[in-house]
């Protein structure tokens, strides 16, 4: 009789554990369903409010993932002034290298006045590559000079950048302005730590009317990237990320599909502590200034020294 009671008790415990397990499994599935549905709804909401300037980047063929670095994806990030002709030059050229396995992002800024070997054309300033033949020519020029593989791209018109910032961060993005800035940027910025809206943040990133010139501007662009990342990781902003991704799908031209964009947003949300490191090409002591009748004032590089520095920064061989 006692053995029968113990057997009955064991069976009840097993059934109870099974019920608890099924309940937890159902809750997890339901939670994932809610998260997925929320993400898609917010993504579509973002798409519906985004009416940006059209960008025509042309065709694009990215490189394959490096077999020895399967977790690394490199993105060519371009900022353009759309003059309506379809032949805009790129004011901002960066490569973002994302190592998903270790949670790091490395951003390399390329000066627009670099004297570049543009495939199929006479050497010109690097920012002219996009003018000649869109995103593919820019990709081929940077990859050809430095050997860095580029897998994807994203292009934003500067007018759209203002809207993106205002949608994502309606209270502004915190920046410490070191000096008064106003010339050629459409706004007046005074020294001090303050919250900048989209137009002000763009002006801050584009200012170069001082002794630092483009070098100072590139440093500020990198500062803006870090400030945007910091603001994006705030709890109040995280819930807006799917909506922002939807807005970006209309504001930003990219080779990624909507599914890819959502996936990458969720990946960033799950790797909240991702670090951003920055570098600038050319490196100090590896360049000189020159002038050509067809290209104007340019920066001439020691390619091998800059390539070696880039390889060390990205922690991967460059072919």
Q: Express each pLDDT in 82-118 by its tens digit.
A: 655 556 778 899 999 988 888 788 999 999 999 999 9
Task: In whole angstroms, give the CA distance from residue 91 to residue 109.
Answer: 11
Six token digits for residue 69: 């670095």
């200034």: which residue's tokens?
A: 289
* Average pLDDT estimate for 236-252: 70
Q: What is the distance between the terminal CA atoms of the chain, rounded to a whole angstrom?
A: 79
Convert 6-28 to b/e letters by CB count within 10 Å (16 or more is b).
Answer: eeeeeeeeeeeeeeeeeeeeeee
Q: CA–CA separation, 202 vs 212, rounded Å? A: 18
Paired tokens of 272: 């909240």
Cβ(167)–Cβ(74) under 8 Å? no
Report the candidate in 21, 22, 66, 119 with the shortest Cα–Cα distance to residue 314. Answer: 66
At 152, is the pLDDT very low, low, confident or very high (cuts 50, 70, 90)? very high
Nearest of 297, 301, 299, 298 to residue 286 by alpha carbon = 301
Q: How far is CA 298 from CA 114, 125, 134, in A?
A: 6, 7, 21
pLDDT band at 264; cut points 50, 70, 90? low
Among 61-75, 101-115, 224-238, which is the least confidently predicted range?
Answer: 224-238
Q: What is the mean pLDDT of the chain?
A: 82
In this prediction, residue 276 carries a pLDDT of 81
According to the model, what pLDDT value does residue 166 have? 86
Q: What is the pLDDT, as a whole number, of residue 19?
A: 59
Neighbours of 164 (CB within 10 A): 20
175 pLDDT higher than 90:
yes
The domain 72-233+273-314 belongs to what CATH superfamily? LCP protein (3.40.630.190)
Work out the pLDDT band at 59, boundaries 50, 70, 90. Answer: confident
This prediction has a pTM of 0.78
CA distance 105 to 273: 11
In this prediction, residue 291 has a pLDDT band, given cuts at 50, 70 and 90, of very high
Cα distance between residue 112 and residue 97, in whole Å: 19
Q: What is the rounded CA–CA span in Å between residue 53 and residue 4?
A: 77
Is the pLDDT reported for residue 27 higher than 70? no
What integer pLDDT is reported at residue 252 of this predicted model? 80
Half-sphere exposure of 111 (CA within 13 A, CB side): 25
């Amino acid at each position: 009789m006692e053995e029968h009671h113990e057997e009955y008790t064991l069976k009840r415990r097993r059934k109870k554990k099974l019920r608890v397990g099924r309940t937890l499994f159902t809750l997890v599935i339901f939670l994932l369903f809610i998260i997925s549905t929320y993400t898609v709804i917010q993504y579509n909401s973002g798409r519906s409010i985004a009416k940006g300037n059209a960008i025509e980047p042309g065709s694009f063929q990215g490189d394959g993932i490096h077999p020895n670095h399967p977790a690394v994806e490199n993105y060519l990030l371009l900022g353009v002034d759309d003059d309506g002709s379809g032949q805009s030059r790129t004011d901002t050229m960066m490569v973002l290298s994302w190592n998903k396995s270790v949670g790091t992002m490395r951003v390399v800024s390329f000066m627009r006045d670099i004297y570049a070997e543009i495939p199929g054309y006479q050497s010109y300033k690097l920012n002219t590559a996009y003018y000649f033949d869109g995103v593919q020519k820019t990709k081929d020029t940077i990859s050809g000079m430095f050997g860095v593989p580029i897998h994807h791209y994203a292009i934003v018109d500067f007018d759209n950048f203002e809207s993106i910032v205002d949608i994502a961060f309606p209270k502004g993005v915190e920046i410490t302005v070191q000096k008064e800035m106003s010339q050629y940027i459409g706004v007046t910025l005074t020294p001090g730590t303050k919250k900048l809206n989209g137009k002000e943040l763009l002006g801050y990133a584009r200012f170069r009317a001082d002794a630092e010139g483009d070098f100072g501007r590139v440093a500020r662009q990198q500062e803006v990237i870090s400030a945007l990342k910091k603001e994006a990781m705030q709890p109040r902003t995280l819930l807006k990320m799917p909506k922002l991704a939807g807005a970006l799908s209309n504001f930003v031209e990219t080779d990624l599909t909507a599914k890819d964009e959502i996936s990458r947003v969720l990946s960033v949300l799950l790797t909240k502590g991702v670090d951003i490191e920055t570098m600038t090409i050319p490196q100090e002591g590896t360049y000189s200034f020159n002038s050509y009748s067809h290209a104007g004032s340019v920066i001439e590089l020691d390619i091998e020294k800059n390539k070696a520095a880039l390889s060390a920064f990205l922690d991967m061989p460059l072919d």
